[in-house]
Structure 1
Amino acid sequence: MSQKILLVTKNQFGYQTDYYKYACYLKNLYDITYFSFDNSKKKIHEEKIKSVYICANTSYLGRALLFYYKLIRFLQTNKVDLIIIKSFDYCFFLKLLFPKKKFILDLRSSAISLNQIKRLYHNLLIRLNTKFFSNITIISEGLAQKLHLKNYCVVPLGAEIISKKNKQFDELKLMYIGTLDNRDVDKTVKGVKLFLSKEHNVETFEYHIFGKGKEFEECRLKNTIEECNLRKKVFFHGYKRHEEIVEYFDKCNVGVSYVPITFFYDNQPPTKTFEYLLSGMACIATGTSENKKIIVPENGILCADSAENFARSLEKLYKNRNRYHSDMIRSTVINAQWDKIVNNILLRVIKKII
């Protein structure tokens, strides 16, 4: 009989890439149960993976208490060999309540609120959680250093090869996928305007933006597209699931990994950087510490987080466009595929515990 692993995260099944991939690649080796909120999104079903959903249609405090209560009841009434928890506030109480159970505390992010007091508070809670767990995994070395951790294993971010099509780089077709909240994506649109005003010989140019954000973020992006008179070149598609935009991973040849360069984003590896590169696209990425580890001359260009620098990076990429080759680009991040991360890193951690 297979050993039982419980994956605990507040993100509904299928809507957090890391845990969705953990479940999919571990399901043939272990009995996997996924414990999460029901965030009223379309249910995704995977063979051999059981889902336990907790209603999220209450107040913030009500949701938190209900999640805790249901999780405690589940652990009291079900045999579980290992619990992998995506860190959340006060989850250390689980270790106090079930001291004999085996846990992995998994850290995917530090606090990224724009409010400094909130960041300090939540980072303190993260560090408090780590004091109670002997098995800790974390997304990057940089984040481990930031949180002053000593005993941990890095389980990095990964991606899948969404597009196997080799790209042609004679014309530019850009793509951004991800959240719009606090990302200043409108600056990339302003950068496109500056680039096109200088490069008059660029006849074919497209920029496709996928994602959602707060209403004012989406309005600002739409207004910037209008103000820059780029309605025929820059297209905001809103939120789409990956399977809905595979055709754009096939047709686009430049991925935009634009994250503001701040100390609270600096150690967060962007999923999108790996997704673009594994799909054979060149990548324009802001120069965070994590992007600097990924972007090399063979696969893209680093830029500062301003419209002017984004435009200069586009200009440089366009002038050197014939140097890029999809097979070479993919080879620079070949070990960042989820099957390799789960089978070569996470599985090794699990086998040491159970």
Structure 2
Amino acid sequence: MRNLLISAEARAFGRISVLCDAMRRYLRLPRERTHICPLGANPIPILTRDMSCLRLLYVGTFLNRRLSEAIKGFAIYCREEGASTDAHFTLVGDSEDGERHRLQMLVHELGLTDRIALPGYVPRERLTSYYECCNVGVSYVPMTPYYDCQPPTKTYEYFFAGMPVIATATKQNAVIVSDDNGVLIDDTPDAFCSGLRVLAQRLRLYDSGKILSSVSDHSWYNIMTNNALPFIEAVALAHEE
């Protein structure tokens, strides 16, 4: 019902802008009136990064993300690898439904308080230190129809920090995630664990510079200059006529 309402409201306008064609199709918007303006991010320059062992980072909301599955998968990995791994997992963010507290309780139950940190909400201007200390971005969303067609904001943000990712295999993540910049997984604990094994084997092979340059077209500057502003100007000009 919500999608029908969004579609009906959008169709009331002469021109419509969405993030990708998959979203246009999902909302059944008319192709001839719909403009694609993609997501992006700003570069986060990191000069050096320790790639000797897994340091996972999730940044974002905890609402409806099922991050407990990722934490359980991390626990499986740590249990199976034993003393041979010094992996750590930092989840930055919060939600209004008490999910952070539930995740803290889960971490305690799993006996991983020394490996998993949940610092809560961190202002954007203080996030750089987290990107510096970590080396793998976690782009984890449930594999549902509504997430499947949404471009992955967090994936771009991790790439712009030069970080490989472990990402759920939504259609939009599959467009940009490759062996050169990460691994795609299902949204289950076992799949998360398997993805971590792959990342651990490849970790020293990832090139932060190449990861960053692979998404340079998706910087907010380039998107605004080459896409958003020309679209807005064209709409304004058509309105004047």
Please indicate the TM-score interval, normalised by the length of the shorter structure: over 0.9
**Residue 244 of structure 1 is aligned with which of 116, 126, 131?**
126
| Partner SS state of residue 44, structure 2 | coil
1:297 maps to: 179
1:44-193 mapped onto 2 (5 Å cutoff): 120=1, 122-149=2-29, 150=31, 151-193=33-75
Q: Does the 8 Å contact 2:63/2:97 carry over to 1? A: no
2:153 maps to: 271
Q: TM (normalized to structure 1)?
A: 0.64
Q: Does the 8 Å contact 1:299/1:332 carry over to 2? A: no
Q: Distance in 2 between matches of 1:248 and 1:318?
A: 19
Q: Distance in 2 between matches of 1:322 and 1:331?
A: 18
Q: Give percent identity, aligned residues only.
A: 33
1:13 maps to: none
Q: Which runs of 5+ in 1 are unaligned?
A: 1-119
Would you identify which runs of 4 or more consecutive aligned residues in structure 1 move more than 4 Å? none
CA drift of 1:353 comes to: 2.3
Q: Tell which structure's C-alpha radius of gyration is larger.
A: 1
- Matched to 2:76, the amino acid is L
Of the two structures, which has the highest relative contact order with CA contacts closer than 8 Å and spacing of 6 or more? 2
Which protein has the bigger helix share? 2
Q: Distance in 2 between matches of 1:336 and 1:166?
A: 23
Q: Does the 8 Å contact 2:57/2:137 carry over to 1? A: yes
CA drift of 1:203 comes to: 4.1
**How many positions carry a matched residue from both structures?**
234
Q: Distance in 2 between matches of 1:281 and 1:289?
A: 20
2:239 maps to: none
- Matched to 2:129, the amino acid is E
User: Residue 351 in 1 paired to residue 233 in 2?
Assistant: yes
CA drift of 1:201 comes to: 4.8
1:210 maps to: 92
Q: TM (normalized to structure 2)?
A: 0.93
Let me know the Cα RMSD of the aligned residues.
1.3
Q: Does the 8 Å contact 1:139/1:154 carry over to 2? A: yes
Q: Distance in 2 between matches of 1:267 and 1:333?
A: 19
**Residue 339 of structure 1 is aligned with which of 221, 225, 232?**
221
Q: Note closer, same or farther for the CA distance 1:229–1:265 as it changes in structure 2 (3 Å cut).
A: same
Q: Distance in 2 between matches of 1:196 and 1:171?
A: 12
| Partner SS state of residue 58, structure 2 | strand
1:235 maps to: 117
Which protein has the bigger strand share? 1
Q: Distance in 2 between matches of 1:243 and 1:302?
A: 29
| Partner SS state of residue 114, structure 2 | coil
CA drift of 1:241 comes to: 1.6
Q: Distance in 1 between matches of 2:24 and 2:185?
A: 25
Q: Which runs of 5+ in 2 are unaligned?
A: 237-241
- Matched to 1:247, the amino acid is S
- Matched to 1:174, the amino acid is L
Deviations 1:125-154 (A, max 9, x none): 211112221111101110001112222111
Q: Does the 8 Å contact 1:166/1:327 carry over to 2? A: no
| Partner SS state of residue 14, structure 2 | coil
| Partner SS state of residue 144, structure 1 | helix
User: Residue 287 in 1 paired to residue 141 in 2?
Assistant: no
User: Residue 226 in 1 paired to residue 127 in 2?
Assistant: no
Q: Distance in 1 between matches of 2:235 and 2:146?
A: 31
User: Residue 310 in 1 paired to residue 187 in 2?
Assistant: no
Q: Distance in 2 between matches of 1:353 and 1:214?
A: 38
| Partner SS state of residue 200, structure 2 | helix
